[in-house]
Copies of this chain bind each other. A is one copy, B any other.
């Protein structure tokens, strides 16, 4: 018989019992790659820009031709032509001359800087006066300044954000190698469950856990596959868990609060591989089971939606992060309790709360209600954890609130 484990032991177990899923690289279009995890280092294969560019509207010239010029004694240069946006500057700048370039325009060979229009005067006779001397490199972006062949642009493992998408666009990567999302099969069990669009009959309730877990896991980068509601029939449940385990990287069973269903889930997991955990010393959330078939976790969550939610946040997300080869980082804020919270359970306690800012101080108001009530959590800003060796927290205590 497996013993109940502490939350720390469960998190440790997740790291030792599972390894990252391999071979998950897939190509997606650039426009769909934001938020995805880059699967390979990205190195440039070309120069960006592929030509010397001006960063100002003005004249491209040789800096040496303007040394010592000023408002009083401008350097007078013939205008040898103009560069048009989007066209190359295929000619070489004649000695002692200049060409007009727009911002972003190509600078001809021979020119080593650009002088802003504001510092020049057009004499109307094919020459201009330059009032301010140029310096080599001034107002120029040179070929390959941004990237050049072989330059590392982005490292594997990065979660791609908007500016990364910009960099990939710049180097022409319109298909991006990203990690395939971890696929999670979700099964709800229980004779009492109906789908949310149905009206419950006597003794029935709507399935809350499937849509809630789907929303949670999708928001954290997983891909969920729904296997619907399975009635309390061990053979049927076994067949569904096996089908889900074949198609997915992990399977989450939820519901089945009755002892019979829990026992059936344990038997199914044991027959498919190994049962690793039977109970977590946490409130709510104790009746949680975890097993594996190969490297695929099989999780049995409590049926109570609030318990299922907390266990999913605290343990399933780190589990999926482990499979994805990522570190799970939880976002917390420090807040002050608006009232005392008792905790005399010998179990780690998780409490939903709302957050408000009063006089610049962040206040956490604990939500009190019976366990299992999902509206306890709806409208909550997050939750805080009271360690099992703590008998409660007084009003005014500082707590770390996890943003739900």
Contacts and interface: CB of A to CB of B under 8 A. Distances in A.
Nearest to A46: B199
Contact of A34 (B105, B219, B378): B219
Contact of A192 (B86, B216, B371): B86
Interface of A: 30-31, 34-35, 48-51, 55, 57, 83-90, 102-106, 117, 141, 145-147, 151, 153-155, 158, 161-174, 190-193, 196-216, 218-219, 232, 257-260, 303-305, 309, 370-375, 377-380, 404
A214 B166 CA distance: 10
Nearest to A255: B104
Contact of A258 (B57, B190, B375): B57
Nearest to A379: B154
A259 B170 contact: no
B205 A48 contact: yes
A203 B85 contact: yes
B169 A85 contact: no
A215 to B, nearest CB: 4
Contacts of A216: 162
> Which of A35, A146, A163, A380 has the most B CB atoms < 10 Å from its CB?
A163
Contact of A104 (B57, B146, B205, B404): B205
B196 A30 contact: yes
Nearest to A376: B146
B215 A34 contact: yes
A30 B166 CA distance: 33
Closest 10 CB pairs of A and B: A88-B202, A167-B378, A166-B212, A162-B216, A86-B191, A102-B258, A163-B377, A103-B257, A86-B192, A85-B191
- Output the residue of A104, A174, A198 with the most chain B CB within 10 A: A104
Nearest to A89: B203
9 contacts: A55-B304, A87-B191, A104-B205, A162-B212, A163-B404, A167-B374, A168-B378, A170-B196, A170-B374
Contact of A211 (B153, B166, B202, B206): B166
Nearest to A204: B86
Nearest to A171: B206
B372 A208 contact: no
A346 B193 CA distance: 65
B303 A162 contact: no
A202 B90 contact: yes
A250 to B, nearest CB: 17
A200 B162 contact: no
Q: Which one of A173, A190, A378 has the highest number of Cβ atoms from chain B below 10 Å of its Cβ?
A: A378
B83 A373 contact: no
A212 B375 contact: no
Given A375-B146, A379-B158, A166 B85 contact: no
A74 to B, nearest CB: 21
Contacts of A377: 163, 166-167
